């Protein structure tokens, strides 16, 4: 069977090393420019993506980032989904609080990414993994 035709508006980037964090940043920047986000909005969504890509690597043991350009009747923007099959987050509300960290970070990543995004959702299951979706549009 022929592989499905890739959608040019969707990019998937595997997150396995620190280099992949830079790759995610560059891809998100490219999509944000393409869709015409302002410089501040570009910077916010790229920074949020950088935080979440690092979380995926450090806490999720690696995973996948899917970057999608959203164009519908009312808005245009960039949506990014981060998925890992890591240990999951026991208390999501707690993890979103500033300063909360279980690792070597500053505890700004998850809550900071939420503040920098206009759309944010998180689903996590212990032992199964975590999925975070963010978007920023105009």
Which residues lie near another protein (CB under 8 A)? 18-19, 21-22, 25-26, 29, 39-40, 42-44, 46-47, 50-51, 54, 98, 105-106, 108-109, 111-112, 115-116
Q: Which is nearer to another protein, 26 or 121 (CB)?
A: 26
* CB of 15 closer than 8 Å to CB of 56: yes
Q: Do 52 and 80 form a contact (C-beta atoms < 8 A)?
A: yes
Q: How far is the CB of 92 from another protein (least distance, A)?
A: 18
Distance of closest approach, residue 138 Cβ to another protein, in angstroms: 15
Considering beta carbons, is residue 102 or 125 the nearer one to another protein?
102
Min CB(110)–another protein separation in Å: 10
Strand ordering across the sheet containing 63-71:
10-15, 63-71, 76-84, 129-137, 119-125
CB nearer to another protein: give 38 or 121.
38
DSSP string computed for 67-109: EEEEE-SS-EEEEEEEEE-SS--S-HHHHTSTT--SSSS-S-H
- 26: closest CA among 40, 4, 42, 3? 42
Shortest distance, CB of residue 98 to another protein, whole angstroms?
5
The SS3 assignment for 60 reads coil
CB of 104 vs another protein, minimal distance in Å: 9
**In the complex with another protein, which residue's Cβ is closer, 9 or 111?**
111
Of 19 and 127, the one with the shorter C-beta distance to another protein is: 19
């Amino acid at each position: 069977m022929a592989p499905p035709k890739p959608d040019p508006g969707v990019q998937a980037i595997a997150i396995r090393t620190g280099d992949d964090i830079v790759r995610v940043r560059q891809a998100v920047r490219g999509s944000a420019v393409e869709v015409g986000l302002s410089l501040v909005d570009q910077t916010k969504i790229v920074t949020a993506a950088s935080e979440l890509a690092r979380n995926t690597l450090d806490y999720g043991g690696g995973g996948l980032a899917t970057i999608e350009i959203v164009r519908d009747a009312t808005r245009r923007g960039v949506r990014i989904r981060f998925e890992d099959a890591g240990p999951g987050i026991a208390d999501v509300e707690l993890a979103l609080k500033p300063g909360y960290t279980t690792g070597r970070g500053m505890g700004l990543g998850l809550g900071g990414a939420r503040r920098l995004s206009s759309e944010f959702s998180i689903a996590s299951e212990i032992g199964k993994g975590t999925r975070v979706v963010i978007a920023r549009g105009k």
